[in-house]
Structures are given as C-alpha cells and as structure tokens.
C-alpha cells in the first residue's frame, strides 16, 4: 500500500508541477507582450523622427499635413481654461435621473455616486466639470509631496494601479471601509486607461478627495497623462460616454492630472511614488518643481543643436510672420488656434526639416509671448500641448533636469541587479538596483519605498531586501483569473498588512472549482487568452519569420527542426519567452521532429479574422502597428470625434507605409477602406477600422 | 541533441529564476525536473539534490550545478512516466471501499506510516 501511495504522490506532484510551469509561462507571455506594447511608444517616436528628418514631402498639402501632427492641440492660459470648460451654462434636464452634486461636497454625495455607479448610471457632464474645477482648485494648494501621519488616523491604506477597474475599487471600499476621518487612503496613480470605467473611478476619488482632504491622498501615475490616454483608452472612454461635452471634460482632466501631487510621505519614513526612483532622484528638487508645468511627460525628441540658434534669432522680435532659413516667407498666424502654415515651395528635405522645426518653435514662442514670458533658453520640443510657463523665480536647475526627476518617479522599475540604467523597454525612466534603493533610503532617512506600476500575480511583491514594495490593485488585469489585486495597510509601527482579492464574478466561480479540485479551469482560461495574443503576434511577423525559417532551411525542404524553430522565433519576436516550453501549445503537428513552417504560418493566418481582400503584408503591418496607428489617428482627430477625413486617412497611410517601407498604391488604400466599409459621408470612423483588426480585446 | 537538451533545461530553469541571476530556490528544483517530463518520486528528487551543490545561506541552486546533473537524467531517460494502468492499479489498491476516489487524509496516512 505504501508503494501505491508513493506512486500516486509521484504522479500528483508531476501534475502540479506541470500546472505551475504553465501558469508561469502564461504570466511571462502576458508580461512580455505588455512591455513590448510599451515599446510601441519608441516606434512612434521613430516614426515622428522619420517624418521630421528623412521624409521628403511631395506636395505642400503633404507638408501641411505633417506639420499638423506636430503642432497638436490648443494651448491656453489657465484663465481661458475656466472660460472654455465652464459648466454653469450647461443645463441639467429634468429627465436626468442620475445623482446631483452641489458644492461643497458632503459624504451623502459620495454615497449617492457610489450607488449610482453601481447601477451603471452616468453623472451629468455639468457635475463632472464642476467637480473638476473644484478638484483643480484644491490640488493647486497641495505641495508636490503630501505628508501623512499615522498618529492622526491609526492606519493608512495604500492602493496601487486601478486602471479603470471600478469593481476593484468597490471591493476595496467594501472590504476596508470608505474614506473617513478615521480611515486614510493613499491612491498611488494609474487610475485610468485599459479598464472601461476610468471616469467613474476618477469621479469617486476626486469626490472623496474634496470631502476628506486630510485623509485622502492621490499620487500622479504615468497614465495620468493625456498623451498616454490617447493610446490606452481613457480618451476614447470619455468621448464615448460624453459625446457633446467630452472635449471639455478631457481638457479639464488634462489640467487636473498635472496638478496631482507627485509623491506621498508617511511619517517621514515611507515614501510612496508611482514608478520608482533613479540614482539622481532628488527629493528637494521634487518638492520645489512647479509640477503643473509638465502636462505630459512624454515628448518627441531632442532638437538638434545646430539648427536652433539662427532660427530663434530670426524669430524673436518679429511679431507676425517670420522667415525661415531658406529665405521664404512663412506666414503663421498669431493665434492660439493651430493654423497650417504655408510650407516652403522647395522640396529640399533639409529645408523642410528646418522649416518644420521653426514653425513649431514659432508656435511655442507665440504662446510664450502671449503669456508675457521671455525665455532665452531653447526649449525641448514636445509634440504634446504646450508647456504652460509662468513668470516665477527661475530655479538654478534646468527644465531638462526637472523633467527627468518627474519621468523617473513615474516610469522607473526596480531590477534585481545593482546599478541604474535606462528603461528602454518602457521608453522612459530607469531600472534601479538595490544599491540605488539603499543609498536613497539612507540619504533621506527612510525605511522603505512603496510603488506600483507593475502588475504582480499576488497583487503585491517585495524586492530589494524588502525595501521596495510593489502594490497593484487591479485584479485580473491581463485576463480573468490572471492575478490578484491587493492593498496594504500601515499602522504607526509601519509594518505592512496585506489584503488580496480578485473582484470578478467569473473569477469567483473559477476559484470555487479550485476549492473542489485542481485549478485547471482557471489556468486553462487564462492560458488560452495568452496564447491567442501570442499567436496574433506571431502572425504579425509572418514575413520576418519566413525569412528566419528559410535561413535554417538551406535545402529548401520546407521543414526545419523544432530547435531551430525556437531560435528563429525568438530572434524575430524578441520577447524572451521559453519557446521550447511553449511549443506544444503553438505547434500542433510535426513530422519526425520537423516542422513544415509554411503550413504552420498559414494555419496561424487562418485563425485571424479573415480579410481576404487585403494584401497579407498590409494586414501584417496593421496588426503590428495597430497601437501606433490608433495614437496617430487620435492626434490627427483633434476634436475627438472618432472620425477623420478620407484624405487624412490616406495621407496617414502613405506616410506610415513609406516609413515602414511598404508598397501601397492608392488603389490599395481604397480597397482597404472599401472592403471594410467604414466610409461615413467621406469620413472614416477609425475606431471601427481598428476594431476590425482587434482580436484579443485585452491587447492594448 | 545534447545542445537541444541543454537549451530545454535552461529554459525551464529560467522560468523559475526570479531574479534573472541563474539561480533558483532549492524548493523549486522538484518542480523544474517534473516539468521537463520526468516522474521522480520524493526520494529520487532528494537523491538528485544531494548530487547538486546547494548554496547556503538561503538554499539556492545555480544553473551551472543543475545543468550537468539534469542533462544526464534526460539523456539516460530516467524517471519515465508511470503507465496509466499502473497508476489506476495503485488507486484501486488504496481505495478499499471501492468508491472511486481516495481522500487526501488517506494518502497522507499511507505515506507517513512506514
């Protein structure tokens, strides 16, 4: 009987080990795809650089179009903001059944909002705008680093990323209690994007912030940034829910985001920031920076030194039109509305580049002039809204240094190795090692850091010898069942206590199966989703994969060994995944250990939604660059209507395909549009266009 | 073939390598061995571990120590899977009441009683 028991144990352990391996591989897949999506930002950067430096426009229309991409958005003075985004003129109709807000806010308002959102009601635009105006007023008085003391309220609860997942916030309030004079909360950024209820979360958080200003603290996250919102869903959510006033609401959010504090300090001992630190993080500088200057932390690229000086001299002191270096008249108009400037008639690439930089610089200078500032130092080029500058005592450090401080705080990640290096994966911030943490904590006499920014399977994770705690509050972030969310409570002893959860009905169902037996159902579901995303990625790189496979198949047999398959796939996708472990799920049939790669790729293609009329290379490009295409469309679509003209669509395509080196004829574009039938009175609904190529709904 | 086996072992190892420094917790070794397709019992896992140097403190195993040992295991095709009928037989042997299942407590009892 003992022998029998041992056998069973043997078999059982092997089963559990396999499940564990599958679970970890699935996690790896999601993480590597998520971070490679963030690399899209870098690709976008490259695209804009290409337009700036290498592309030769073939017509003045094309030039104008390109310049519009750089001079995006309207800049404004703060006073104008109040006028533009006013709410008093907005009437609330009698038919409105949602909650009503009046100021100053009271706890009853908060409860009403929670109930309303639970019933899927929507708050009227007037109240949202009102709330945003009040929130802004409040945030403006706050310092960059909030100070919390555990002696006033016994415990502080710290929550991490929520990413629009309202259910998780409801759960936290349900389990832990609502904010109150005896219940302090710190929300560590990334309230928005990806999830579908970012708006509701912000409304609730801001409401509690105003009702309990001493007890509720918000930190800015890297997603509290309108440039990121364009790509990751918040912009879309607002425009879909508020078709009439969405633009105003977005503009207000843009401003409110940059007034969010950057960090929170508990008892002078625990620092809470969204991303992390770098070896140059300086709390004194952070305290003194004017944080509202940094509307978006993302930026385009450094302007080349050589082209700066002469143009600035040419521009400064001229009020109306300037002349570019080639001596042609450029006639930008003096207004806050972006106008397409007259492009130079020469087709010279270098001159076009210079002209473009100059035009944008002019816009910046124009805005500065209107705001009564004299700025002699050349500014970094940002393709987001203009940095609004104020007339204050200039600190001794440069804006460049300030910008780096904020970028590091919002975007950095800890790494196990010592040192500090650039975070190339995300395209911003640093990877910081345990030595950096140690030095930093010592310098400021801190005990440990709390940060968020990275999804953790258990909702939280320690690293750097328990000196850095990552807390992540969005459960099931990648897929239902993928991970738990967590929040941490700190008392005066500053010892962390964690509460984990998975707020989702389906997940609860799945965990019940877990209690009865093996969590196979749970793992399978998440796994399925991960592999779908992975297969889509593979499809998106079909051409490159074929080339790689062929290099291993010199005799042109059409087959390669599985070992070579693994090497080839990694060399193309560069996701750092254990391909040999994943192979059974990706490659169904082999003949004597050899894979017929062409038919394997064909099978992959068939799984994607079939768009047979479109040339396959084009499909690939769309899949690979969907996220960037969406961002570009949104930049062009200035009034956030979701529609761009057919001509704009065409031009975008042309530019993009020229950058990606694809042949695309006019007919090709027409076919594209016609076959998917998105034409609405000469306008393209790019949301629908992109939806047709969106397979895995989670993939950003 | 050897190169391919080594690549497989490395891949499996790295999945459990939390800090990306080529070491894993010694408690995960059993899991790694099993996910490479082997069916060792506990005694056999311990035996393997005794052949691999474990770094103190903390009990870490370095890839360098693990690789050669595991390579031999795979090349020699040790710890092959248990055939289905054998496992079924084992279950039936413990299921005295013929109810089609055994409880965890039963299993523990049988394992801990010499």
pLDDT in tens, B72-102: 888 888 888 888 888 888 888 888 788 877 8
Largest CA distance in chain B: 51
- B72 at A interface, C-beta within 8 A: no
What is the length of chain A? 700
Q: Which of A472, A339, A427 is nearest to A628 (CA)?
A: A427
What average pLDDT does chain A have?
A: 77
Long-range contacts of A528-531 (CB under 8 A, 24+ apart): A529/A478, A529/A479, A529/A696, A529/A698, A530/A26, A530/A29, A530/A30, A530/A478, A530/A479, A531/A29, A531/A582, A531/A585, A531/A586
Tell me which residue of B31, B16, B62 sits closest to A28, measured CA to CA: B16
Interchain contact, B86 vs A7, CB within 8 Å = yes
Highest mean pLDDT among A304-318, A442-456, A630-644, B8-22: A442-456
Chain B residue with Cα closest to A28? B15
B93/A417 CB distance under 8 A: no
d(CA A37, CA A232) in angstroms, rounded, equals: 10
Give the CATH number of domain A97-299+397-501.
Answer: 3.60.21.10
Most B CBs within 10 A among A2, A3, A8, hence the mutation to make, goes to: A8
ipTM confidence score: 0.88
Residue B103, token pair as written in the block: 């409880």
Per residue in A192-216, pLDDT tens?
998 999 999 999 999 999 999 999 9
d(CA A70, CA B102): 69
Point out the residue among B3, B15, B32 whose CB comes nearest to the CB of A25: B15
Q: By CA distance, what is B110's nearest residue in A?
A: A2
CA atoms within 13 A on the CB side of A582: 26
Q: Residue A470: pLDDT above 70? A: yes
Whole-number pLDDT of residue A81: 73
Radius of gyration of chain A (CA): 27
The ranges of chain A annotated as CATH 3.60.21.10 are: 97-299+397-501
Please identify which of the residues A217, A223, A453, A659 carries the catalytic annotation. A223
Question: B94, A416: Cβ pair inside 8 Å?
Answer: no
Return the pLDDT at A5: 81
pLDDT tens across the length of chain B (114 residues): 788 889 999 999 988 887 778 888 888 888 899 988 888 888 888 888 888 877 666 678 888 888 988 888 888 888 888 888 888 888 888 887 888 778 878 788 877 775
What is the least distance, in Å, from the CA of A564 to any CA of chain B? 9
| Amino acid A160: pLDDT | 96
Interface touch A6/B42, C-beta < 8 Å:
yes
Note the pLDDT tens digit of each residue in A639-653. Answer: 777 788 877 877 777
Residues near A414 by Cβ (< 8 Å), separated by ≥ 6? A276, A431, A432, A433, A434, A437, A451, A463, A464, A468, A470
Chain B nearest CA to A210, separation (Å)? 42
Closest CA–CA distance from residue A478 to any residue of chain B (Å) = 19
User: A472 vs A59, which has greater pLDDT?
Assistant: A472
Query: b/e per residue, A355-391, with b = 16+ CB within 10 A?
Result: bbbbbbbbbbbbbbeebeeebeeebebbbbbbbbbee
Check CB contact under 8 Å for A24 and B20: no
Min Cα separation A528/chain B (Å): 19
pTM here is 0.72
**Domain topology for A616-696:** Recoverin; domain 1 (1.10.238)
Residues 628-657, chain A, touching B (beta carbon < 8 A): none
- Interface with chain A: mutation pick from B1, B2, B10, B11, highest number of A CBs within 10 Å: B11
- What is residue A342's DSSP assignment? P
Which of A55-69, A269-283, A556-570 bottoms out in mean pLDDT, i.e. has the lowest? A55-69
Closest CB to B91: pick one of A8, A16, A18. A8
For chain A, residues classed under CATH 1.10.238.10 are 1-55+520-611, 616-696
CA distance A576 to A680: 43
Q: Do B15 and A21 touch (CB under 8 A)?
A: yes
pLDDT at position A521 is: 61
Q: Identify the pLDDT of residue A377.
A: 33
CATH 3.40.50.300 fits B1-76, yes or no: no
How close B72 comes to chain A (CA, Å)? 19
Nearest to B87 among A7, A13, A417 (CB): A7
User: Residue A485 — pLDDT band, cuts 50, 70, 90?
Assistant: very high
Q: What percentage of residues in chain A have a pLDDT greater than 70?
A: 72
pLDDT reported for residue A428: 75
In the structure, what pLDDT confidence band is assigned to residue A143 with cuts at 50, 70 and 90?
Answer: very high
List of chain A residues whose C-beta atoms are within 8 Å of the C-beta of residue B30: 13, 17
pLDDT band of residue A509 (cuts 50, 70, 90) is: very low
User: How confident is the model over A482-508, as a mean pLDDT?
Assistant: 84
A223 is annotated as an active-site residue: yes
pLDDT at residue A313, as a whole number: 26
pLDDT (0 to 100) of residue A479:
79
- Report the pLDDT value the prediction gives residue B94, as an integer from 0 to 100: 81
CATH of A1-55+520-611, one of 1.10.3720.10, 3.90.180.10, 3.30.457.10, 1.10.238.10: 1.10.238.10
Tell me what pLDDT residue A695 has.
41
- pLDDT for A346 beyond 70: no
pLDDT digits (tens, 9 = 90+) for A557-606: 888 988 899 999 999 988 889 998 898 888 887 778 788 888 888 888 77
* Domain edges within chain B: 1-76, 82-113
Residue A149's pLDDT band (cuts 50, 70, 90): confident
Work out whether strand A270-272 and strand A448-451 pair parallel, antiparallel, or are unpaired: parallel
């Amino acid at each position: 009987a003992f022998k029998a028991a041992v056998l069973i144990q043997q078999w059982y352990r092997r089963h559990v080990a396999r499940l564990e391996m599958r679970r970890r591989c699935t996690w790896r897949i999601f993480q590597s795809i998520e971070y490679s999506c963030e690399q899209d930002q870098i690709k976008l950067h490259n695209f804009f650089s290409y337009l700036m430096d290498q592309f030769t426009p073939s017509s003045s229309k094309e030039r104008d179009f390109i310049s519009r991409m750089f001079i995006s958005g309207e800049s404004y003075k703060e006073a104008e903001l109040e006028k533009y985004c006013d709410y008093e003129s907005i009437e609330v109709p009698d038919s409105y059944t949602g909650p009503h807000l009046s100021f100053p806010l009271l706890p009853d308002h908060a409860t009403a909002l929670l109930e309303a959102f639970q019933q899927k009601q929507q708050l009227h635009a007037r109240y949202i705008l009102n709330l945003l105006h009040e929130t802004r007023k409040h945030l403006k008085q706050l310092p960059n680093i909030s100070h919390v003391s555990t002696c006033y309220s016994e415990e502080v609860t710290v929550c991490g990323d929520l990413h629009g997942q309202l259910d998780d916030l409801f759960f936290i309030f349900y389990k832990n209690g609502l904010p109150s004079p005896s219940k302090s909360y710190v929300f560590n950024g990334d309230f928005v994007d990806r999830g579908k209820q970012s708006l509701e979360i912000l409304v609730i958080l801001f409401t509690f912030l105003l009702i309990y200003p001493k007890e509720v603290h918000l930190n800015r996250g890297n997603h509290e940034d309108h440039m990121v919102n364009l790509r990751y869903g918040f912009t879309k959510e607002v425009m879909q829910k508020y078709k009439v006033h969405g633009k105003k609401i977005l503009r207000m959010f843009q401003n409110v985001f940059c007034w969010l504090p950057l960090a929170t300090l508990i008892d002078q001992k625990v620092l809470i920031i969204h991303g992390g630190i770098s070896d140059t993080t300086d709390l004194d500088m952070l305290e003194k920076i004017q944080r509202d200057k940094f509307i978006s932390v993302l930026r385009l690229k450094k302007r080349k030194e050589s082209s700066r000086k002469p143009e600035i001299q040419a521009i400064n002191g001229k009020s109306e039109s300037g002349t570019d270096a080639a001596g042609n008249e450029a006639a930008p108009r003096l207004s806050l509305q972006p106008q397409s400037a007259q492009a130079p008639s020469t087709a010279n690439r270098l001159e076009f580049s210079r002209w473009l930089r100059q035009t944008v610089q002019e816009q910046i200078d124009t805005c500065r002039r209107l705001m009564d500032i004299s700025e002699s130092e050349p500014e970094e080029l940002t393709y987001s809204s203009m940095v609004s500058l104020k007339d204050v005592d200039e600190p001794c450090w440069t804006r460049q240094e300030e910008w780096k401080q904020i970028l590091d705080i919002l975007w950095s990640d800890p790494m196990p190795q010592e040192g500090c290096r650039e975070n190339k994966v995300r395209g911003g911030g640093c990877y910081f090692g345990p030595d950096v943490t140690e030095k930093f904590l010592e310098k400021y006499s801190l005990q440990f850091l709390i940060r968020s920014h990275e999804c953790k399977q258990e909702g939280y994770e320690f690293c750097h010898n328990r000196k850095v705690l990552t807390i992540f509050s969005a459960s099931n972030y990648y897929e239902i069942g993928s991970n738990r969310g967590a929040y941490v409570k700190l008392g005066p002893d500053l010892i962390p206590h964690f509460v984990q959860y998975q707020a989702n009905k389906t997940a609860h169902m799945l965990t019940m199966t877990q209690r009865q037996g093996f969590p196979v159902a749970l793992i399978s579901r998440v796994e399925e989703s991960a592999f779908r995303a992975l297969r889509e990625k593979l499809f998106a790189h079909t051409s490159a994969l074929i080339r790689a496979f062929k290099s291993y198949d010199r005799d042109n047999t059409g087959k390669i060994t599985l070992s070579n398959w693994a090497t080839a796939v990694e060399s193309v996708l560069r996701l750092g995944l254990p391909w040999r472990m994943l192979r059974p799920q990706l490659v169904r049939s082999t003949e004597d250990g050899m894979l017929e790669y062409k038919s394997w790729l064909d099978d992959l293609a068939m799984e994607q939604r079939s768009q047979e009329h479109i040339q396959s290379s084009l499909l690939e490009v769309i899949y690979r660059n969907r996220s960037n295409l969406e961002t570009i469309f949104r930049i062009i679509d200035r009034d956030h209507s979701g529609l761009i003209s057919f001509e704009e669509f065409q031009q975008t395509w042309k530019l993009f395909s020229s950058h990606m080196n694809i042949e695309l004829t006019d007919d090709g574009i027409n076919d594209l549009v016609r076959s998917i039938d998105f034409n609405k009175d000469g306008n393209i609904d790019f949301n629908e266009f992109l939806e047709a190529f969106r397979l895995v709904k989670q993939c950003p | 073939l050897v190169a391919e086996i080594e690549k497989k072992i490395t891949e499996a190892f790295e999945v459990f390598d939390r800090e990306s420094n080529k070491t894993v917790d010694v408690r995960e070794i059993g899991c790694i061995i099993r996910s490479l397709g082997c069916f060792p019992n506990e005694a056999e896992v311990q035996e393997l571990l005794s052949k691999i140097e474990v770094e103190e403190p903390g009990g870490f195993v370095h890839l360098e120590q693990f690789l050669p040992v595991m390579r031999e295991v795979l090349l020699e095709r040790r710890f092959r899977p248990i055939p289905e009928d054998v496992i079924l037989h084992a279950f039936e042997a413990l299921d005295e009441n013929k109810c089609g299942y055994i409880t965890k407590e039963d299993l523990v009892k049988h394992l801990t009683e010499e």
